[in-house]
Amino acid sequence: MSTVLLLPRLLVPVRPRLQVLEQMAVVIEGEFISAVLPRSEAFTRYADAIHIELPEHVLVPGFINMHTHSAMTLLRGYADDLNLQVWLNDHIWPVEKAFLSPGFVHDGVRLAIAEMLRCGTTCFNDLYFFPEVAAATAVETGMRACIGLPVIDVPTVWAADEHEYIDKGLQVSASWQNEPLITTVFAPHAPYSVDNTALQRIAELSDSLGLRVHMHVLESSWEVAESMRRHGKSTLDRLDDVGLLNERLLAVHMTQLNQDDLDTIARTTVNVIHCPESNLKLGNGICPVAKLLGLDVNLALGTDGAASNNNLDLLAEARSAALLAKGYAADPCALNAFQALEMLTINAARALGKEHQLGSVEAGKLADLCAIRLDTLQTTPMYDVVSHLIYAVSSQQVSHVWVGGRMLLQDKKFLCMDDSDIMQRANDWAKRITSKTRAMRSREYKFHE
């Protein structure tokens, strides 16, 4: 096993908090960071190590995308400028019904992983059909993934009803349990699309197996009214009744929160996954980030799928989150740059129950890392590198990425994937989809003859 010394200009380890370090070495041995120490000491202690010089770079923990539907990269730009229910019922679900298959998921996930790696993401929390294909694709590309075991009351080619979804999910979970890059979690689609019996079974299994539960919750005002109409109680009261409100829940969106909801979230230590760009694009509302932070709620960030964002760029998401939190709270101190960086890294690790393994650059943690170039016009001059990371850096400055000690991106070049093949396959899918579904499209542009 060779030892590698990473020698960045600056290191922002995230833990300990608020540190910016110079003249440091990060030592990688196998999958892990074995030490973070001054260079002079590292050169003596690890005399035979391989050196990787990063003279114009800041080294940070790899980013964790806490909510996406990675295969939906193939539907990027397919239907836009629509409200959530119309977007899902009239556009996304019909096209998925026509094209959903293992091949679709493989090619979509591979495109997503390529895009995410380029943006410094080293782990993604996925919610989609054919989770076994997503897991295999992540392992094939060297990416770390938290794979959702989907459950929804809509039959698909993957499963016929909620109980078959759960049973198949359990098989997928068991078959990937020894793969270090893969974690599995339950992924019931949303409170309005999974019934009480299935939610209760998921809560019991989550408790006995220790698996987390990843779910869209309180995404739109329609969902608030629908819960009262169908169940006579609020969404969070219903989830509490079935036993889902606890530290294992990854509640995505949460744009519709009243004071009772805020108190319930704080009391039950639910994790909130904020997807500001998807919420804005679908006009769904705004998650009250400043209030949640004030209640010590654990908050992390997701891009959502590329069909509702329309990119998987977490640095851009963090910038949007910081700006939106300030605008919404009318407080420029709401969600500062370091807090936004924590949402991309250590808070996400905590939400996944992996705070001891991921989310910071510390000895003993997995070597999931990202190096970002600082010698660009848009990051010159530099007074505060954390400010730059959130407010000025573009993801195009991401140059190197490591997952579990393995370098996957070097000087912006993939070491494990072929961009042109990935794009070719995605374009082939778009041709097939376009030729079959023109009638389903939201809008047809008129061309003058």
Q: Kindly list the residues in this chain that would bind Zn ion in the complex (CB under 5 A).
A: 304
Q: How far is the CB of 71 from Zn ion (least distance, A)?
A: 12
For Zn ion, the closer of residues 217 and 318 by Cβ is: 217
Using the 8-state DSSP alphabet, how is residue 62 labeled? P
Q: What angle do CA 373, 378, 382 make, to 5 degrees?
A: 75
- Among 425, 426, 373, smallest CA distance to 400 is for 373
Q: Which residue has the tokens 């891009």?
A: 303
The Cα-based distances of 12 to 15, 22, 24, 234, 286 in angstroms read 8, 9, 10, 42, 30
Nearer to Zn ion, 206 or 303 (CB): 303
Q: Strand 398-403 and strand 406-410: pairing?
A: antiparallel
Q: How far is the CB of 252 from Zn ion (least distance, A)?
A: 6
State which residue, 213 or 334, has the beta carbon closest to Zn ion: 213
Query: Among residues 217 and 242, whose Cβ is nearest to Zn ion?
Result: 217
For residues 369 and 64, the answer to whether their CB atoms sit within 8 Å is no
Closest approach, Cβ 411 to Zn ion, in A, equals 33
Give me 425's structure tokens. Answer: 């396959």
Tell me if 361 sits within 8 A of 59, measured CB to CB.
Answer: yes
- Report the nearest approach of Zn ion to the CB of residue 102 (Å): 21
Provide the minimum distance between the beta carbon of 236 and Zn ion in the complex, in angstroms, as a whole number. 18
Closest separation between CB of residue 189 and Zn ion, Å? 9
What does DSSP assign to residue 397?
G
CA distance 211 to 123: 17
Helix residue spans in 335-418 (DSSP H): 337-344, 346-351, 385-391
3 state DSSP class of 264: helix
User: What distance in Å separates the CA atoms of residue 218 and residue 221, rounded to the nearest whole number?
Assistant: 7
Question: Greatest CA separation found in the chain?
Answer: 74
Q: What is the DSSP letter of 366?
A: B
* Between 261 and 304, CB nearer to Zn ion: 304
Nearer to Zn ion, 304 or 313 (CB): 304
| Cα distance between residue 366 and residue 402, in whole Å | 10
Closest approach of Zn ion to the CB of residue 304, in Å: 5
- Cβ 69 to Zn ion shortest distance, Å: 6
- Identity of the residue, 118 or 253, whose beta carbon is nearer to Zn ion in the bound complex: 253
Of 304 and 342, which CB lies nearer to Zn ion in the complex structure?
Answer: 304
* Shortest separation between residue 62's beta carbon and Zn ion, angstroms: 21
- Closer to Zn ion at the Cβ: 27 or 252? 252
What backbone phi and psi angles, to 5 degrees, belong to 397? -85, -5
- CB-nearest residue to Zn ion: 304
Residue (96 or 304) nearer to Zn ion, CB: 304
Q: How far apart are CA 302 and CA 168, in angstroms?
A: 26
Helix (H, G, I), strand (E, B) or coil at 7: strand
Residue from 69, 66, 138, 86 nearest 309 by CA = 69
In whole angstroms, how close is the CB of 446 to Zn ion at the nearest point?
32
